[in-house]
Amino acid sequence: MPADAGRAKALTPEDRKENALRPCACLGYERDKLAMYLLKRGMHNLAEAQLRRAVWLNPFEPAFKVHLAWCLYEQKRYREAWEWAAQAQGQKDEPQVREILELSAHRLGIPQ
């Protein structure tokens, strides 16, 4: 058995900050799940409210910001969608984030 097998992995400063500010790692996921259901049903205003609450509860989860960006994009609120996607990209760069940034930028006439 390795000598460090019983030790916990050292946390980065970002991990420590996240753990201190977030009382529970699962916060926001229920609201995100509900919002995705509402989006599929075309209830964008209700979905947006749930997604904003999910982001408020857990600002460290970039998926909530991406989902909010898509919700805003579908409502033709391209500037807000671009801003939320940019925030998500700052946390985690993924193809879905780049796609919403490109689509929003195109609608806004922002050169890539």
pLDDT digits (tens, 9 = 90+) for 18-35: 667 666 667 899 999 999
What is the per-residue pLDDT for 110?
Answer: 87
Q: Collect all residues with Cβ–Cβ distance below 8 Å to 50 and sequence separation of at least 6.
A: 31, 32, 34, 35, 38
pTM assigned to the model: 0.78
Compute the distance between CA of residue 70 and CA of residue 72 in angstroms, rounded to an integer.
5
What is the per-residue pLDDT for 43?
Answer: 97
C-beta atoms surrounding 112 within 10 Å: 6
Residue with tokens 């898509």: 70
Q: CATH number for the 26-108 domain, one of 1.10.760.10, 1.25.40.10, 2.60.40.1120, 3.20.20.140?
A: 1.25.40.10
Domain boundaries, the chain: 26-108
pLDDT digits (tens, 9 = 90+) for 20-74: 766 666 789 999 999 999 999 999 999 999 999 999 999 989 999 999 999 999 9
For 73-107, the three-class secondary structure string (H helix, E strand, C coil) is: HHCCCHHHHHHHHHHHHHHCCCHHHHHHHHHHHHH
Copy the structure tokens of residue 60: 């460290």
Copy the structure tokens of residue 14: 């970002």
Arithmetic mean of pLDDT over the chain: 88
What is the per-residue pLDDT for 100?
Answer: 93
CB-hemisphere CA count at 13 Å for 94? 12
